[in-house]
Structure 1
Amino acid sequence: MDWDPALYRRYEDERTRPAAELLARVPLASARRVVDLGCGPGNSTELLVRRFPAAEVIGVDNAEAMIVAARQRLPQSRFELGDIGTWQPAGDAPDLIYANAALQWVPGHEELLPRLFSLLAPGGVLAIQMPDNRQEPTHRLMRELAGRAPWAAHIGDADRVRTELLTIGGYYDLLAPGAADVDVWHTVYQHRMASAGAIVEWVSGTGLRPFLDPLPAELRASYLKAYEQGVDAAYPVRSDGRRLLAFPRMFIVARRPA
């Protein structure tokens, strides 16, 4: 997919809030080696650098544009292109593997999460946050439109563009047998958005990418027009003229035995 760091950063405060809340629950007083999987433009990596100033912090992303933006933001940190699905640490095992809003794009969680957990140093922590919004109006509408002509022929199977998450209990059951502790929770943020267009702009930087990228320019414009009309109907104007964008997110923090 064609990721745009500038568009992603347009709502950086809202995107970084769950990253910070995930990191706040990581039970590590210190760390020598920290890996940020799916680091994007480095906003989450910056949190890790501040939390663990003595650690080697490595950011990994599969989008070259994101890596370039992250290196500009944090020139003292190391960033590398990599595929989360096959990633392996080079050198010492990390004390923290941190993945904020990234694993929802990677299939096979039944194998992926135990594999990542096994790569940690003794006492290490796997910390994950994933949007859990496939059934929200924003994402249902993406798939509904993608199944209609004239867009369907270009987009293909809309149900396969993002990984279907397990239940929160399912993730607990995956990690708990080999963990010293597993903390799971679910939060629904209510983001105050200026307009239906602002909601479309938000998701254009992430969730809409697999639907927009395959479309030629003229069909992309018509898809976005129909999508904004649907968003306008689904998210009513509140008493202050804004819209409330409900955004559920799932959090997992699992610690290996020391």
Structure 2
Amino acid sequence: MWNPDAYLAFADQRGRPFFDLMACVNADDPRRVVDLGCGPGNLTATLAQRWPRAVIEAWDSSPEMVAAARDRGLDARVGDVREWSPAPDTAVVVSNATLHWVPDHQALMVRWARELATGSWIAVQVPGNFDAPSHRAVRELARSDRWAEPLHDFPFREGQVEDAVGYAGLLVDAGCAVDAWETTYVHELSGENPVLEWITGTALRPLNSRLTDLEWEQFRAELIPLLAAAYPRRPDGRTLFPFRRIFVVAQVG
């Protein structure tokens, strides 16, 4: 289960990559814009503001996220992005911080490029921080004797996503004009355990269904000193949290 409130705890910082991504989509007056992995809809709503005449189509695999998006007035539906196919009038496909959850998403992106009409846009952003200290700490703790049994299938691994060159190559080969890049954002976080709270809303989510409530709290407690060592709090009380992200914007040829 996704928790929209936990995800939105850092809404401004999580939202910035979306706007950086969409700034490179030069669609003029699209008829249909699709957000695959719309989450709670706070960012999807900005697509309707940018293109008020477009039909906004929103998908997410989480019923909780879809309910939150519908509360914002969006026509959101529960669905697996692997099952989505573009309607003939689809002009822009956006997938922000979603495809890293999808096995073999590279083939999915190539399929979209082949199914979309010439001139359509594909805009994708994925985290590129699976080898960051935060994720290494989670993996190491999950593999420890205490947690190896309940968390033996913890999904995050190194190499879960391509780099910018990898994604660019896939879509160039599919006949697209491509703009791909990487950015490392350095977030200024505050609070007692801010990195833990950040990853609780995303990277730690798969653990929740694998652990009891008591185990969940114990696992999080054991993470605190590991994250504190990797991301020490500054004398001014802030914690600097670098976060690498990978972007690709493609126009179908």
Which TM-score bucket, shorter chain as reference?
over 0.9
Q: Which residue of 1 aligns with 2:78?
A: 81
- Return the alpha-carbon distance in structure 2 between the equivalents of residues 78 and 195 of structure 1: 35
Q: Provide the alpha-carbon RMSD of the alignment.
A: 1.6
Task: Report SS of the residue matched to 1:126.
Answer: strand
Say which of 184, 188, 192 aligns to 1:192: 188
| CA shift in 2, pair 1:152/1:212, >3 Å | farther
- CA shift, 1:149, in A, is 2.5
Alpha-carbon shift at residue 178 of structure 1 (Å) = 3.3
Partners of 1:150 and 1:234 in 2: CA distance: 21
Question: In 2, Cα distance between the equivalents of 1:162 and 1:60?
Answer: 27
Q: Displacement, 1:161?
A: 6.8
Aligned ranges for residues 1-258 of structure 1 at < 5 Å? 2-73=1-72, 75=73, 77-89=74-86, 91-158=87-154, 164-195=160-191, 197-257=193-253
Task: Point out where structure 2 has 5 or more consecutive residues left out of the alignment.
Answer: none
Change (3 A) 1:180 1:216: closer
Task: Supply the distance in 2 between the matched residues of 1:144 and 1:203 (Cα, whole angstroms).
Answer: 15
Checking the alignment, whether the CA contact within 8 Å between 2:163 and 2:246 is kept in structure 1 is no
TM-score normalised over the length of structure 1: 0.93
Count of aligned pairs between the two proteins: 253
User: CA separation of 1:55/1:28 partners in 2, compared to 1, >3 Å: closer, same or farther?
Assistant: same
Code of the residue aligned with 1:81 in structure 2: it is: V
1:181-239, Cα deviation, whole Å (9 max, x unpaired): 10001000011111451211111111111123201122111110111111111111224
With 18-27 and 204-213 compared, the bigger mean Cα shift is at 204-213
Unaligned runs of 5+ in 1: none
Distance 1:212 1:228 in 2: 17
Give % identity. Answer: 38
Q: 1:250 corresponds to which letter in structure 2? A: I
Contact 1:105–1:162 (8 Å) recurs in 2? no
CA separation in 1, counterparts of 2:85 and 2:200? 30
Q: Determine the C-alpha separation between the residues in 1 that align with 2:159 and 2:113.
A: 19
Structure 2 distance, partners of 1:211, 1:61, is 20
| 1:117-146 per-position Cα deviation (integer Å, ceiling 9, x unaligned) | 223222000000001110111111111111
Secondary structure of 1:10's counterpart equals: helix
Matching residue's letter, 2:186: Q
